[in-house]
Structure 1
Amino acid sequence: MSRAEPLTTPEHSSGLPWIADAKRVAPRDARALSKLFLDRIQVLDEGTRAYQYARNTLIEMNISLVHFAASRFRNRGSGAMEDIVQVGTIGLIKAIDRFDLSRGVGFSSFAVPYIVGEIKRSFRDTSWAVHVPRRMQEMRVDLARAKENLCLTLGRDPTVGELAEHLGVAEDVVSEGIIAANGYTAGSLDVYPSTGDEVPNARTRAANMGGTDPRIEIIDNLLALAPLLCELDPRERRIIDMRFGQDMTQAQIGDVLGVSQMHISRLLAQVLSRLRRGMLTES
C-alpha cells in the first residue's frame, strides 16, 4: 500500500489520509480506505478541494473493479480494452456518487453492477451499424436462438410462421425483427456476395453465427437488480423475499404482516413498478 499521512494543507483539511498514488493501494487496503473516504465524502461540500480529493482518490483506489468487470468483455471484438475501461470508469463514478453507507452493502458489490451496466450500454449503443429500437435488438437475439433450435429439430431453416409460433409472437413482429437484424453490421457496397461456388462446402455467414447464452443475460439482470433492491426499505424487501424467495401467496404474506391480501397486492404492484422503472433506466 502507498504511504498514507494525515492531510494538513488548508485545501485538503478534511481529516482524510493523504495518498500520493491511490492506484497502487492494495485491494484489501482499498476496501478499508474506501469506507473511510465514502463516509467523509457524504459530509464534505461538493466543489471544494477536499471533496475533489476524496472523490478522485476513491476512483483511483477502485479502478481495479473496472478492470475486473471489463475483462469479461475482452473478446467482444468491439473497441480496445482501454476504451472499455474508460466507459466502465463512468459506471464507477456513478456508483461513488450514489453509494450510501447506511444501506449496509459493500461498495464493491454495489459498484460492479453499475460498471457492467455502463459497459453493456456502450456496446448496445455503438455495436449496431444502424440504430434500431432496443426491442428489435433483443428480437434479433431471440430470433437467432430460435432459428438455431428449430434447425436442429426440423433439419432445415424454419419459416417465419414457425419462428413466430416458437417465440409466441405475431408473424409481422418476426418479419420486422429479421429486417432490423440486418442493421447490426454494414457490408461494403464494393464486396460482392459469394455464391459459394468457388469454395467447396461453403457455409453461409448466418450458419457461422452463434447465439447469446441466456444465462449470461439472467446474471446481468440480477446484477442490475441488486442495487435497486438495496434501495427498498426493510418491509418492502421482506415482502419481495416472501413472495419470490419463499414462494408465499399474497394471502400468506398478509397473515404474516397482519394486513389484508388486497393491501399486499397494492404494495407488491408499487414495489415491482418502481423496480421495473429502475431497470429500464439503468438498461
Structure 2
Amino acid sequence: MSTPPTRNPVSEEELLQRYHRDGDFAARAEFVERTMPIVHHVARRYAQRGQSYDDLVQAGSIGLLKAVDRFDLDQGVKFATFAIPNITGEIRRHFRDHGWGMRVPRDVQERDALLSKVKERLVRKLQRMPSIGELAAESGLTKEQVLDTMEAARNYTTVSLDAPIDEERSELDLLGGRDAGYAQVEHHLQLVAGMKTLRDRERRILAMRFAEGLTQSEIAGQLGISQMHVSRLLRQALAQMADTLRDEEASDRPALADATG
C-alpha cells in the first residue's frame, strides 16, 4: 500500500497574499495564529510592570491584527519588522489607558520604566536589592530623580474607597474626622442669641472682659464704677445668658421629638 504524498504547508507569505488579494479570512486567521509568538515576545518585555500578562498579550494581539491589515506585500519588508512597532504601540497604549492610577508626567513614566529595567539588571548582578545610589549611577539619573520617580510610582495603582480593611471597615472609614469648626459655629450662634437678651452696658462689659481680656479693675476704671459693681454685673449677665440658652434648648426638644418620632 503506497503512502499518500505529504502536502507542503502553505507559507506565511502565501497566506498573506490570499488574504490581501483574495479576501480569504481563513488565511488571515491562520497567519495570525502562526505569528502570535511575536506578540508573546514583545509582551514579555513589559511583564512585571503591574499589568497581567494576559492583558498585555490581548493588547498586543490587537496590534498584530492591525499590522496584518496594514501590511503592504509590495514593500519588500519582513512582516515581523513591520509588526513589532504596531504590537509595541498597542501595549504601550494599554499602559497609558490602564496602567497609572493617577496621571503623571510622561518623563516620570519614562524614568520609571528605565529604573525598572535597571533594578532588574542590578538584582541579577548583585543578588540583592540595589541602593538608591547604585540605581542612580547605573541609570544616569540623580539620586533626587530616583527618589522622585519611586515616589511617583506609588500612583501606579489606586485603591477603591470601598476596599475592605477588615470585616467591619473600609478605606473610606479612615478618611475625615470630626471638624471642631462646627462646634465653634454652634457656640458662636448660642453666644449671639444670649447676648441679644442683655443691655448695652452688660454687652460692653462682657466684650471688655472676654474679648479684650481686661481685668475687672481695668473695666471699673474705664466705666467709672467699682470693681464690685463690675463683678456683680458680670455674674448677672452670664446667669441671664445661661437661662436664655436653657429655655431655647427646652423649647427645641419637642420639635426634635416630633421630627424623630
TM range (shorter): 0.3 to 0.5
Higher relative contact order (CA 8 A, sep 6+): 1
Structure having the higher helix fraction is 2
Larger Rg: 2
Q: TM-score scaled by structure 1? A: 0.39
Q: TM-score, normalised by structure 2?
A: 0.41
